[in-house]
Amino acid sequence: MTRPEADDDRGNHLDARARGHARVYGAGQNMSIDRSRHSADSGYRFGTGNSFGPHNNFGRQHIGEQHIGDRYEVDLNPVSALFTGRGPGRVLMVLGLCVSAFCFAGWMSIVFGGMSGDVDSPRDALGTRLGSGIPVGAVYFLGFGFGGMLLGIGNSMAKAAVKGGSRTGHLIATVIVCAGGLLCVVYALGGSPPSTLVPFSGTPGVDVPAVVSDTRTSAKRGGLTLTVTRIENVDGHGVVHLHVRNNTGHTVSLPLQSFVVTDGDGHAYRPRLFGGGWNAESGASARQSGTIDLQEPVAGGTGDLQAGFTMAFGESAPNGIAVTGIPSRE
């Protein structure tokens, strides 16, 4: 390879400009080419100069902060653990994908509804308001993020299970996360039927007349008189006009949460907890009128309606009161 400067068998300095000669070095011997130092038994080290050309070295090499020989695998695929992982983490991954897809479809139903003119006012731009007062569009938006979080947690758990993670711990974590998500959904619904969350369930084509009923219909029970004066659909939701007369001699409370309207097909319409103009408290020998907003429009042509309160509170209050036989328009 190069010509040695000296003929000594242990000489180790070579003239880098020499050509046409080679020398074999044994274990423990060093050789230097210019300012590059090479050790026969421990690889090579670089000094202040530069070394050019190929270097064959077996084992691990350390060059500055770079390690050669150690292999690291980085998996950036967010769903690979669904097929290569183990344990209940994969259940969370599947659930997360389903939740995200469902909420994305729901959000698209709101977007397409607005494009088609199905939104009657800015108030309903995010879709029907649930019993908690939260618009369904906000539930879709938060649910999409929650689905992504489930996917990430499940991905980590499935990978950890392959390396011997605790399956019992993973199972407990899965139950806790799923139960927390279910409680959030129940709170958001606030008494609304789960079908309210179904995407495209509020698409045009359902008969929702502006005035469902304008016939005054009353019911009496335990000194309390409840009258439904009008039921109509305004801004994409139902509105019930009520009049109450309290002859019990004590204050009676008719809570908004217990109000329900049922149509001839048996479909129940629940109230919005925010909005409307209803005062639950009615004093002794008092009369008052108010309105209750429903979560969705009331369909017409289903037959007679029923509206009332399933609960009433007060010293002389009845258990509840309902007005039946309310005629509806076709």
Q: How many residues does the chain have?
A: 330
Q: What is the pLDDT of residue 44?
A: 46
What pLDDT is attached to residue 322?
94
Q: What is residue 125's predicted lDDT score, i.e. its pLDDT?
A: 63
Residue 150 is which amino acid?
L
Check residue 187 and give its pLDDT: 85
- The distance of Cα 271 from the centroid of its chain, to the nearest Å, equals 25
For residue 271 the two structure tokens come to: 């109230």
Can you give the pLDDT at residue 86? 77
* Cβ contacts of 19 within 8 Å, gap of 6 or more: 2, 3
pLDDT of residue 124: 54
The predicted pLDDT at position 8 comes to: 47
Q: Of 275, 264, 256, 259, which is closest to residue 299 (Cα–Cα)?
A: 264
Q: Which residues pair with 313 in a beta bridge?
A: 253
Distance (Å, whole) CA 172 – CA 168: 6
Q: Tokens for 318, please give them.
A: 């009845």
- Cα–Cα–Cα angle for 54, 55, 57, rounded to 5 degrees: 150
* pLDDT for the residue numbered 120: 44
pLDDT digits (tens), the chain, 330 positions: 444 444 444 444 444 444 455 555 555 556 555 555 555 554 444 444 555 555 555 555 555 555 555 555 556 666 777 777 777 888 888 888 898 888 888 888 777 765 444 444 444 567 777 767 788 888 888 889 888 888 888 888 888 888 876 778 888 888 898 888 889 888 887 766 777 787 765 543 344 668 899 999 999 998 899 999 999 988 778 999 999 999 888 899 999 999 999 998 888 999 988 778 899 999 888 999 999 999 888 988 888 999 999 999 988 888 899 999 999 887
The residues that bridge with 14 in the sheet, in sequence order, are 4, 33
Greatest Cα pair distance in the chain? 126
Q: What per-residue confidence (pLDDT) applies to 299?
A: 85
Query: Residue 324 is encoded by which pair of tokens?
Result: 């039946």
Q: Among 52, 60, 20, 61, which Cα is nearest to 33's?
A: 52
Closest to 161 measured CA to CA, from 97, 82, 62, 218: 82
- Give the pLDDT score at 59: 54
Q: What is the CA radius of gyration of the chain?
A: 39
Which class for 63: exposed (0-12), middle (13-18), buried (19 or more C-beta within 10 A)? exposed
* Chain position carrying tokens 């003929």: 7
For residue 65, what are its two tokens? 């902060």
- Both tokens of residue 113? 């509804």
Nearest CA among 270, 300, 276 for reference residue 289? 276
What is the reported pTM?
Answer: 0.43
Burial of 23-61, coded b for 16+ CB within 10 Å and e otherwise, reads eebeeebbbebeebbbeeeeebeeeeeeeeeeeeeeeee
Neighbours of 67 (CB within 10 A): 11
| pLDDT of 295 | 85
Question: Given the structure tokens 């629940």, which residue do they identify?
Answer: 270
User: 285: closest CA among 244, 241, 235?
Assistant: 244
